[in-house]
Amino acid sequence: MGKKKQKKFPDPGGAWLVTFSDLVTLLLTFFVLLLSMASMDQSFITRVTITPAELGFLSKRGSGKVTAKVALVSEMMERPWEVIEKQNRIKDLLFPDDILPADMDKSTLEENLKVLAKPEGVALVLTDKLLFPLGTYELDDNAKVLLYQLVPVLEYLATADINISGYTDDVGGMNPSNFELSGRRAMSVLTYFVEQGITNHRLTVSAYGPTYPMFSNKTPEGRSQNRRVEILIKTTPHLGGYS
């Protein structure tokens, strides 16, 4: 009987390499996907866990370091059209409970501080109750505690000019003494910022006396709100210019 012929299988050649390369491609795709998901989760956690107590430091524009809190508040102020929605957030970041003077509660701050969007930028409006004894223009100790919280933000927004304007209620009408008082109050705030290192060429002062009231002067509450200082941080670029 003749010898049985063995069946020959075709030579695979390099076909196995194709299968191996497909496997490697799938593994690489899987690991890239895992890495992407891990990076996304970390970014998300960073965003949602930042708090007023954040103590981390970031690079400052120019020189030095600033806290993440200062950078966050400054970035909000660079978008004035968003501050109405975020004014409570800005207040909480600037004036957390642990920095408030012992004789000032959160409700007093809320009633006497406003964050407003203006065509030129963002205005922080503080009534005289937060800054001065009634009828005077010397900053009290509580005022200095509050104003000090603004200094790092003003330093960070180094290209923004700042206008400080003073207002009174209508008691005494258009008497020059009202304009003088409003101007002296604005100057007291300006002088404090200069003492803290804000360059004076960025600062201007306005005195409006009883003009431009925010509320009706027919009630004590309205008159109290009209006795105020507005700190306007001009973060909006000039028409035709760039920030």
pTM for the whole thing? 0.73
In order, the DSSP letters of 111-168 are HHEEEEEETTEEEEEEEHHHH--TT--S--HHHHHHHHTTHHHHHHSTT-EEEEEEE-
Tell me which H or E stretch contains 234.
strand 228-234
At residue 178, the 3 state secondary structure works out as helix
Average pLDDT over residues 154-172: 96
Confirm or reject CATH 3.30.230.70 for domain 57-234, answering yes or no: no
Kindly tell me the burial class for residue 235, based on how many C-beta atoms sit within 10 Å of its own C-beta (0-12, 13-18, 19 or more). buried
Q: In the structure, what pLDDT confidence band is assigned to residue 84 with cuts at 50, 70 and 90?
A: confident
Lowest mean pLDDT of 10-14, 62-66, 73-77, name the range.
10-14
Cα 99 from Cα 103, distance rounded (Å) = 11
Cα 135 from Cα 223, distance rounded (Å) = 13
User: Which residues, in sequence order, are bridge partners of residue 229?
Assistant: 126, 166
String of b and e for 105-130 (b: at least 16 CB within 10 Å)?
eeebbeebbbbbbbebbbbbbbbbbb
Q: In the structure, what pLDDT confidence band is assigned to residue 76 with cuts at 50, 70 and 90?
A: very high
% of the chain surpassing 90 pLDDT: 65
pLDDT number for residue 19: 63
Cα 113 from Cα 221, distance rounded (Å) = 14
pLDDT number for residue 31: 62
pLDDT number for residue 48: 36
* pLDDT of 225 above 70: yes
Cα 87 from Cα 116, distance rounded (Å) = 8
Cα 76 from Cα 89, distance rounded (Å) = 10
pLDDT number for residue 134: 82
Give tens-digit pLDDT for 44-62. Answer: 333 333 333 443 444 445 4
Give tens-digit pLDDT for 7-37. Answer: 554 555 555 455 656 666 666 666 666 655 5
pLDDT number for residue 44: 35
pLDDT number for residue 82: 86
The chain-wide mean pLDDT, for the chain, equals 82
**Domain extent listing, the chain:** 19-49, 57-234
Give tens-digit pLDDT for 114-149. Answer: 999 999 999 999 999 999 988 899 999 999 999 999
| Structural tokens at position 123 | 């205005």
